[in-house]
Homo-oligomer: A and B are copies of this chain.
Amino acid sequence: MKRVSLSKAECPVARSLDAIGDWWTLLIVRDAFDGVRRFGAFQKNLGIARGMLTARLKEMVERGVMTVTPASDGTAYQEYVLTEKGRDLFAVVVALRQWGEAHLYAPGEPHSTLVARATEQRVGRLQVRAANGRPLRWDDTEVRTLKASPGGSVAKPTGRPRRVPRTPRSTK
């Protein structure tokens, strides 16, 4: 896969995608959220080649997404644990899960679910909100690029204003 480096991008979306690298990273993070800690367990869960997993884990440690600790049971194994930076990918993983749940399964087709431990109820759908908590649709928002943002207020719409007409969105 041809990759353009986005590590210096002004856009945090691009910089995040660059830092994450490829899908394996997010699948490893997903498994770590589920309690997987050891190389062999990641390998078994993911069906990933040893060399690929070694490279991904090394990169994740270098980037501060995971850290290596001695085994929690006193054996000689190393364990891989999410850092706070890694745990902060939780919303990314949940957003991917919910998009898949909504759009990639046939009606009635079973899939795993994410529940609140306390209630066994499925977690709510992620909602983008304004600073005051008001729900925002995608077209209630706009990206402010650097040229326009230093002062915080914008005299006129910037770089790439949304030219998409506001169309009714089906309720769901």
0/1 per residue, A110-129, Cβ < 8 Å to B? 11111111111111101111
> This chain: how many copies in the complex?
2
Question: Does any Cβ of B come within 8 Å of A71's Cβ?
Answer: no
What's the interface size class on A, roughly? 35 or more
Question: Does any Cβ of B come within 8 Å of A164's Cβ?
Answer: yes
Given contacts A95-B95, A112-B143, A141-B123, are A103 and B130 in contact (CB under 8 A)? Answer: no
Instruction: Write the nearest CB–CB distance from A126 to chain B, whole angstroms.
Output: 5
Question: Does any Cβ of B come within 8 Å of A70's Cβ?
Answer: no
- How far is B97's CA from A16's CA once the two chains are assembled, in angstroms? 7
**4 tightest Cβ-Cβ pairs between the two chains A and B:** A12-B100, A16-B100, A35-B162, A35-B163
